[in-house]
Structure 1
Amino acid sequence: MLSPAPELTPEIAALLRRAMFPDPVRIALALEAYRTHSDRRIFVWDVDGRPVCAAGVQLAGREAQVLHIGTRPEQAGRGHGRNLLHAVAAQLGLTRLTAETDDDAVGFYRRSGFEVAEVAGRGGQRRYLCTLNLGETGNPGG
């Protein structure tokens, strides 16, 4: 079940950290941005009242970019991430949801209905722009 995160608890921060570059300074800055930037929001997917997946997004009108998404390792592969992103898009009435990712996560976005295009890499790694076009209805396919 989808729920907006009322606050950035240690449990939710741990989920988001799973999608962050493992640099303590960069992690601290990214988490602080969720507390201080009005265009950033965190959403959580709960199972039996326990957060199993969290996503941080940056809003721009009726579009949003997924900045981070992390799932508990023991809950991976069960559709929680996909369900979370689609529920966020529907709740916010988004027309488009995007994410930039690498080889490790591009398959997740493809399986979740995103169109994928390779973009300029960084640090010798391939990068991908993943786009979920939702149309005016907030649902995939318009």
Structure 2
Amino acid sequence: MDVKSRLQENLIQELLSYSVFPDPDVLEETIGKYETDSNMWLYGYESEGVLVGIIGFRINDEQEMTIHHLAVEPHSRGAGFGRGIILEIIEEMHPVRIVAETDEDAVQFYRSIGFVIRSLGEKYHGVERFVCTYEIEPEDE
């Protein structure tokens, strides 16, 4: 569900905080981007009526989606919600390709659902970054 209009809610901010550098200023900056940029989308994922995850992304005119934020609340991790979020967003938005940049901690998650992983090297001092790409197969007509 679209949760962009709920950016000032504590739960939305808490979920978003799991996917940004742990700094209140960075979280505020991120919230500001969603509030002011009409090309940024923010969706929440519910399980049994409880919001357990969030995905923030852009999708361009060529239907390439770039994931900027993806998070599942800590007690719900490992239950398949991250994968579910991505499958639901594919169904909803119909991208032809999904791209996400991440750190080493999340590489295995993306690899496990079929993303191709490529190292970007040490983008920040002492931190290797990766680009993860997923090509969506066109449906047979």
Same fold (TM over 0.5): yes
**2:84 is equivalent to residue 83 of structure 1:** yes
Q: Is the 8 A contact 2:16 2:27 kept in 1?
A: no
Q: How does 1:1-142 map to 2 (within 5 A)?
A: 3-5=1-3, 6-8=5-7, 9-61=9-61, 62-121=63-122, 122-137=124-139
Q: Deviations over 1:2-32 (max 9, x none)?
A: x221422221121111011012212111111
Q: Is the 8 A contact 2:59 2:95 kept in 1?
A: no
Structure 1 unmatched ranges of 5 or more: 138-142
Q: Counterparts of 1:33 and 1:21 in 2: how far apart (Å)? A: 15
> What TM-score does the superposition give when structure 2 sets the normalisation length?
0.90
SS at match of 1:19: coil
Identity %: 28
SS at match of 2:35: helix
CA RMSD, Structure 1 to Structure 2 (Å): 1.3
Runs of 4+ in 1 over 4 A off after TM superposition: none
Report how many residues are paired: 135
Moved more, 93-102 or 54-63: 54-63
